[in-house]
Structure 1
Amino acid sequence: MNAFQPARTGLRSPLSLAIAGVLAWGVAMPALAFEDAAAAEGATDSATTLDTVVVTANKRVENIREVGASISVIGERQLENIGASSLTDFAALVPGMQVQSNGNPGQTAISLRGIAAMSPSATVATYIDEVPVGSSGIYQAANAFMLDLLPYDISRVEVMRGPQGTLYGAGAIGGLLKYVTRAPDLAGDELRAGVGLRTVQDGGDAWNLRLGASVPLQEDRLGLRMSFARNGLPGYTDNQVDGARDVNDAEQIGARVALAWDGEAFDADLGVLHQRIHSDGRAGVALDPDTLQPLFGDHVDRTWQPQPFSKKLTLTSLNLDWDLGWGDFVSATGWSQTETSSTLDATIQFGEVANLMLGLPEPGSAALRYDFDLDKITQEFRLTSKSGAPFEWMVGVFYTEEDALQSQFVWLQQLDGSALPAPYAEMFGTLALLNMPSTYEELAVFANGSWRVGERFKIDAGLRQARNEQWFSQNGDAGILVPIGDFPGESSEDVFTWSLSPQFAINQDAMVYLRAATGYQPGGPNVALPGMPPTVDSSMLASYELGLKSAFAEQRVLLDVAAYRIDWEDIQVAASFNGIGGLVNGGEATSEGVELSAQFRATSNLQFGINGAYNKATLKDDFEPAVIPQDGYDVVLNSGLAGDRIPYVPEWSWSATAEYAFSAGAGLAGQVGGAVRWIGDRVNGTTERTRATAPGDPSTVLMEEIVAPLPLDSYAALDLYAGIGRGNWEVRAYVNNVTGEDGWSSVELISSEVTGAPVQAVAVPILPRTFGLEFDVRF
């Protein structure tokens, strides 16, 4: 054991013992309750049909079985059972969805069907009800800070796979993540309260609190819903440098107020949502850069500077719906403000500036802080026909305006955290101070139509024409790492997307569909760096999908299968030199795969599910190089080579679920279930090739360095849960990652920016074995 690693005891906490008892009782209970349950059902073992699920994927309320697209839904009950607190907790339940954690909730990246972000903007759009959240521009790091909405007061999460550009616009190039909140109850009062505890193996404990109330202010007309939740996330990683333990503990706080009016011909919904995430550190494990084995033991990192993270989101939304008799007019308005701050230890990257460049006796310590501020306004108007007619249509207009600021601050201190000695502190204590204000404005018009021919054939089609205009300025205020001065830039572009989806009903229980669709990831003005283009173009893709949705065995079995091919071009990729990076349009890639999702209700009590995906996502050719002139030679940077895999996309992934519902007499009822999730091997990036060539002559190679991406091994994890309740109360227990499986969610190689030598890798582990106990009461 390393001397800097505190010893861990093998004793189990009282919480874990209590949870183990509840789970054991829940597993045994079905056998004890079988006779009572059978008697309550008339002493039969007949199976019942699976429940109908509705979605709003096409901006209409529809049965998911009748939509010609790949959609997954995770319901409120499922989120509660597994103790979900982050996107990483339920990603495996969606075929083709991958979520990489960078150390905390709110520091996550999402990919769908192999379309992973390789630039600062996201490839998956995020909506809360009718309103998009997060930036459409390229200077708010939307790829790394996807919204991790606290699951409380969420009715369901809808995930649409494949491009959704015609209805959802910018950023939905890979798909859509949509949170649907719970609406006020207009018919009766509801009061809910809950408390919970969570503990992590070899880590800390944390508590949760939630309150919710729904009150009809005018029966069947006006309702108010209020909720508050506090979610504690215990830490489990330690720091080798100062001996600090459980440095990545975090807190989520969410509050929401919603007001709903249901009139004769006019409905209105007003909501205000606020969420905060804060952590004093981030999860990380220091690895040997060659062997990728832990340097100091399991769940031990090495950092010299604190790494706090915080994110605040305030969203106000107003939805108005007029029933015109022959159609509906909808207005969806959103105002959001997002503030994100993330500090990273940069000692390995820049600490050697102190000794190798300034001549001080030893290296220093450094930190890099990113601050992102985003103010976003969105407005959508749409006119839709009534549902149920042979031809259904929708036309609309969408407008968004963003005012954003990104700030970067890099500072250098002595290794113990004190200031550099005079006069170095004043001259070099700030290595970089960079402010990058930006604006993004977009106007789009769209139309969608659905034509039903006879009883079996239907065709959906859509189109969208969008124009965005952007402004940006790179303002270097201080430091030796950035050019001093203001360097503004601007861009504008027109983007057209379309979709076409014919579908054929084989019978009343089976439907086959084709879907062809396009999507885009907006470009924008680029940083002022020699060799970088002044603007980067939009990334575009075209997707072709063949799917089957079927039900059989008297509606007890649901089976969805989809095969797809995606052609992706003008991919936005980051290219960096001497620690400063910009964007280029790299080239092309393809993603091909098959997805399967099945549910089987064996009896009225027992249900199984399985999700699986095969995905092959690779670069078609070498990315376009960036050429950076130097004194006497050129540096030619390639950020990806032909045949490279798309980062963090496994070829194979699957999950299997099972749940048994039971009654135990005396009014007691509950459920016990579990899930196994398996993620195949991945890579953390693409191949980076750096060449030094003769000036103006790329064929004369003076030096070449190739850095291959780091591998991430496959892993499997088992989750279990159980619950029991009666009347208005319920107690639930869960254990996630029961076997304590080790696996990496993300990994990064860290090198010295002064010497170029790799020093260590840092990996973010999957959540270790976690015990949770929750109690809820409703009035």
Structure 2
Amino acid sequence: MSRVSRHSGRIQIFSALLAGTALATPAFFAAAAQDADDGTAVETVSRQKTVTVTATRRSESLTDVPYNISAVSGDELEASNILDEAELLRSVPGVAVVDRGARNAGTLNAARIRGLAVDGNALGDYAVSSVASVSTYVNDTPIFAGFMLKDIERVEVLRGPQGTLYGSGSLGGTVKYITRDPVLGEFGGNVSASLSSVEGSEDIGFAYDGVLNVPLGDTMAVRLVGSVTDYPGLVDYVNVYELDANGIPVAPNGVLDPAASYRSVEDADTVEQWMGRATLLWEPSSAARVKLVHTRQSDDIGGRRQVTVGEDGFGDTYGDYENGSIQLEPSSRDVNSTSLEAEFDVGFATLTSSTSHYDHSGDSVSENTGFYAQAGFLGFYYNYPRPMASAVRTYADEAFVQEVRLVTDGNDTFDYVVGGFYRKQQLQSTQESYLRGFKNWWDAFLPGAAAAVTGDQDFAYRRTENFEELAAFGELTWHATPDFDLTVGARYFDNESENDTFIDLPLYASFSEPTEAFFESSEDDILFKVNASWDFNDYDMLYATISEGYRRGGSNAVPLTGTFAEDPRWQIYTADSVTNYELGIKGQRGDIRYDVSAFLVDWQDPQLNTSTTNWGFFVVQNGEEAQTYGLEASLDGYLSDNWHYSLGYAYVNAELTSDFYAPDRPAPAAPIALDGAMLPGTPEHALNWALDYTTTVGSDWTWFSRVDGYYQSETRNAVTTSPRFNVPLDGFAIWNATTTLSNDAFDLSLWIKNIANEDGVTGVFTEAYMGTAPSLGYFGNANKQLIALPRTIGATVRYKF
């Protein structure tokens, strides 16, 4: 099929989706609500709660926002006993998530919206240069840190590019976490404790949480939040070397003999986290509001929640929840974030200043022996017994952010948002790789040439990147009639970046000289947005949007001369951008709230995190183009006073629309990914659903029960042509349930996650990429599947005061 005919086919399918959206008339929802003709369903008192969001930078009802947005309240998070971000995002229609577990939760953003991702699902062990395709905010601070979901007011998920208001990284959308504010004049809080048991674990997990709200006079209050979790692991590392005091594999029969000693470590992937947040609110008058927030979180993770399939080098088959790494793979991280937000009512508008600083750093140890064993050309590393390749990695992300905006009150013929944004950010990433025990073996095997090997370190890599971003943005809304609004928006950005990279292969003396490369780049452009909305009756809105989003570009700073020389075409990667076309209908009729939209997104110059051809520098490269289109729908309603339901569905067709070439190997060389390749991590079909029941028990207690679920169809692990990476991943469904008894003082909850104990695989390191190699002395197996949290049963007690 030719490209022209295939594009024509896509347009026809998208047109059909648009027609289907237009035909999703409010009459259907009115009929479901009851009697559409006489309007009785609308005139009855609705059981729907008004949901206020700030997606447009002003507070307004969820049903009044003229594009596709979802909101999950903090009360819903607590009532459902949602444990982590993966579970939260699965509850939102149209959001896919690569569930890497706690070990990599803060390294890379796992959310994928509208299929806009080309990086492989298994990527996540190390920090990358390009920003994620979905931006995240905590209050007004643009930060991705994987904070624990504690004392949250609500989570807003904005689908589609949000470039004008939210800047770089909002290609697919934006996720905003809004924390709860202190309450003036009230003393109170709550404490809770949870116990849980997860399938495959030999121990019990626990979590303790506390919230304290303290008034400080009539105009000031402080809110303190603390959380400690200690979850036992469930994955057994069954091929781990016994190590001596220097961290070298024990040689029971001497250094030159190939024998090794192994041990099994049960439940190695332990999770220990603590988080603290302090919020100070000062409202000196009705026209001024100042909020200071500081959050700190620390994570210590014992290993991967990832399992190995197949056999080890001895021919023994791995069992459930077993990992074949020959070494433990712990990680840790620390996050500090401080923000000062000030709002001033200037009569016709609200002036807001948001100043923030954050510092996020982490480290990990990864098993690289399986990678070297399968790499072929690196086989010379395996000429020694008990091979053990360790990749010790660190990352750091520190930024200062300032935003100022003026937002009118929304009551005039013309309303606007206008603002300025500044960010200064530094990213650091290192990898120190070691062949543990190689030096000991070399000295024993060739004592006369001991000086030829410097030690166990075989690779050193350090990268420091500095980004400076300055932007001006604005949106102007014309309320042309009481029923019709037209919004135009733009964002001008000017970015500068510099990259300083160091690389060395220090294992063999005089093999090479270390190399350092430095490169600077800059870019500027303007993004646009047009949105129209029509309230064609009192209950329903038709909306249409054309919007742009982008990710900043940068430089890769590869050396051009010397041992580690690379092609100069690797030096720069440019910003990638999307143009989104969307048509939708939303509204509320009685007890039913709905939103249906069709979209088409053209993606230019998509960024792929990869490595250079010659020496494996971590780099970003651009492709040519990709396209996604689909349909998103959500329905929320009440069957009666007691029964409430929600339904969500997303259809996404996401694929490359041109071949993808390495910069130093353009056509007619073989492409690294093919035109028509399905973009990774996004299912074609995804469903989520929930049904809850609330009733009173006696005079003082309320009983709440909920069953919810998520289904996704088959996905791909990667977009490249290589079968070492691009393999299919089966679809799966996850069901959860919770039941809670509550009164004014206590909540008593029982809950279960992943009732059917689905594997829920969302990424893999294949056997061909990181398998076993007994012929080279490697008897472990480093292939891995990224699995969802297995069946977990828990109980929570909360005391409110």
TM-score range, shorter chain: 0.7 to 0.9
Aligned mate of 1:731, from 714, 728, 748:
748
Change (3 A) 1:550 1:436: same
Matched, 1:682 2:715: yes
Matched, 1:510 2:540: yes
Q: In structure 1, how many angstroms separate the alpha carbons of the residues matched to 2:316 and 2:671?
A: 30
Q: Equivalent residue for 2:566? A: 530
Verify the 8 A CA contact 1:192 1:778 in the aligned structure 2.
Answer: yes
Q: In the alignment, residue 682 of structure 2 is paired with which amino acid?
A: V
Q: Tell me the C-alpha RMSD between the 2 structures.
A: 2.8
Aligned mate of 2:523, from 483, 493, 503:
493
Matches within 5 A, 1:686-697: 686-688=719-721
Matched, 1:114 2:147: no
Matched, 1:149 2:147: yes
Shift of 1:585: 0.9
Q: Equivalent residue for 1:39? A: none
Matched, 1:460 2:521: no
Q: Equivalent residue for 1:102? A: 100
Q: Deviations over 1:252-302 (max 9, x none)?
A: 211011111112222111111111222011111113499xx9950221111
Q: In structure 2, how many angstroms separate the alpha carbons of the residues matched to 1:622 and 1:355?
A: 29
Q: SS of 2:98's equivalent? A: strand
Q: In structure 1, how many angstroms separate the alpha carbons of the residues matched to 2:288 and 2:45?
A: 42
Q: In the alignment, residue 614 of structure 1 is paired with which amino acid?
A: Y
Q: Deviations over 1:754-775 (max 9, x none)?
A: 9999976310111111011111
Q: In the alignment, residue 158 of structure 1 is paired with which amino acid?
A: E
Q: Equivalent residue for 1:184? A: 182
Shift of 1:364: 0.9
Q: In structure 2, how many angstroms separate the alpha carbons of the residues matched to 1:281 and 1:354?
A: 29
Q: SS of 2:278's equivalent? A: strand
Q: In structure 2, how many angstroms separate the alpha carbons of the residues matched to 1:451 and 1:81?
A: 40
Shift of 1:343: 1.9
Matches within 5 A, 1:73-222: 73-104=71-102, 105-106=105-106, 109-116=110-117, 118=119, 120-134=130-144, 147-203=145-201, 204-219=203-218, 221-222=219-220
Q: Equivalent residue for 1:338? A: 360
Q: Equivalent residue for 2:257? A: none
Matched, 1:564 2:599: yes
Q: Equivalent residue for 2:762? A: 745
Q: Equivalent residue for 1:540? A: 577
Q: Report which stretch shifted further, 195-204 or 161-170.
A: 195-204
Q: SS of 2:150's equivalent? A: coil
Q: SS of 2:570's equivalent? A: coil
Q: In the alignment, residue 721 of structure 1 is paired with which amino acid?
A: T
Q: Report which stretch shifted further, 182-191 or 740-749.
A: 740-749
Verify the 8 A CA contact 1:234 1:248 in the aligned structure 2.
Answer: yes
Matched, 1:573 2:608: yes
Q: Equivalent residue for 1:66? A: 64
Shift of 1:625: 3.0
TM-score w.r.t. the length of structure 2 is 0.82
Unaligned 5+ segments in structure 1 are 1-45, 135-146, 690-705
Matched, 1:248 2:258: no
Q: Deviations over 1:186-223 (max 9, x none)?
A: 0311121111111101213211101111111122x111
Q: In structure 1, how many angstroms separate the alpha carbons of the residues matched to 2:220 and 2:637?
A: 40
Matches within 5 A, 1:13-32: none
Q: In the alignment, residue 763 of structure 2 is paired with which amino acid?
A: S
Q: SS of 2:304's equivalent? A: coil
Q: Deviations over 1:142-199 (max 9, x none)?
A: xxxxx32211111111111100110010111111111000000003111211111111
Q: Report which stretch shifted further, 475-484 or 395-404.
A: 475-484
Q: Deviations over 1:433-492 (max 9, x none)?
A: 111111100000011111212221011221000011001111125536997221101110
Give the aligned length: 696
Q: In structure 2, how many angstroms separate the alpha carbons of the residues matched to 1:207 and 1:725?
A: 21
Q: Equivalent residue for 2:39? A: none
Q: SS of 2:110's equivalent? A: strand
Q: SS of 1:357's equivalent? A: helix
Shift of 1:371: 0.7
Change (3 A) 1:592 1:754: closer
Shift of 1:78: 2.0
Q: Deviations over 1:571-597 (max 9, x none)?
A: 111343465443221121110010110
Q: Equivalent residue for 1:309? A: 331
Verify the 8 A CA contact 2:479 2:486 in the aligned structure 1.
Answer: yes
Matched, 1:616 2:653: yes
Q: In structure 1, how many angstroms separate the alpha carbons of the residues matched to 2:605 and 2:378?
A: 42
Shift of 1:240: 2.2
Shift of 1:106: 3.0
Q: SS of 2:86's equivalent? A: helix
TM-score w.r.t. the length of structure 1 is 0.85
Unaligned 5+ segments in structure 2 are 1-43, 120-127, 240-262, 445-449, 559-564
Change (3 A) 1:294 1:128: farther
Q: Deviations over 1:290-333 (max 9, x none)?
A: 9xx99502211111122111221111100111221222221100
Verify the 8 A CA contact 1:410 1:432 in the aligned structure 2.
Answer: yes
Shift of 1:745: 2.3
Change (3 A) 1:590 1:48: same
Q: In the alignment, residue 669 of structure 1 is paired with which amino acid?
A: T
Change (3 A) 1:124 1:567: same
Matched, 1:268 2:290: yes
Matches within 5 A, 1:330-729: 330-350=352-372, 356-357=379-380, 360-362=383-385, 364-414=387-437, 421=443, 423=450, 426-427=453-454, 429-479=456-506, 484-528=514-558, 530-531=566-567, 532-552=569-589, 555-576=590-611, 577=613, 579-627=616-664, 636=669, 638-688=671-721, 709-729=726-746
Q: In structure 1, how many angstroms separate the alpha carbons of the residues matched to 2:227 and 2:768?
A: 41
Q: SS of 1:77's equivalent? A: helix
Shift of 1:82: 3.0
Q: In structure 1, how many angstroms separate the alpha carbons of the residues matched to 2:745 and 2:455?
A: 63
Q: In the alignment, residue 434 of structure 1 is paired with which amino acid?
A: Y
Q: SS of 2:63's equivalent? A: helix
Q: In structure 1, how many angstroms separate the alpha carbons of the residues matched to 2:794 and 2:148?
A: 16
Change (3 A) 1:406 1:168: same
Verify the 8 A CA contact 1:637 1:688 in the aligned structure 2.
Answer: no
Q: In structure 2, how many angstroms separate the alpha carbons of the residues matched to 1:606 and 1:421?
A: 74
Q: In the alignment, residue 91 of structure 2 is paired with which amino acid?
A: L
Change (3 A) 1:355 1:432: closer
Q: In structure 1, how many angstroms separate the alpha carbons of the residues matched to 2:118 and 2:410?
A: 36
More strand by share: 1
Q: In structure 2, how many angstroms separate the alpha carbons of the residues matched to 1:618 and 1:543?
A: 15
Percent identity (aligned): 26
Shift of 1:724: 0.1
Shift of 1:369: 2.0
Change (3 A) 1:755 1:739: closer
Q: In structure 1, how many angstroms separate the alpha carbons of the residues matched to 2:228 and 2:541?
A: 43
Q: Report which stretch shifted further, 481-490 or 225-234.
A: 481-490
Verify the 8 A CA contact 1:574 1:639 in the aligned structure 2.
Answer: no
Change (3 A) 1:173 1:289: farther
Q: In the alignment, residue 494 of structure 1 is paired with which amino acid?
A: D
Q: Report which stretch shifted further, 727-736 or 574-583.
A: 574-583
Q: Report which stretch shifted further, 297-306 or 595-604.
A: 297-306
Verify the 8 A CA contact 1:466 1:496 in the aligned structure 2.
Answer: yes
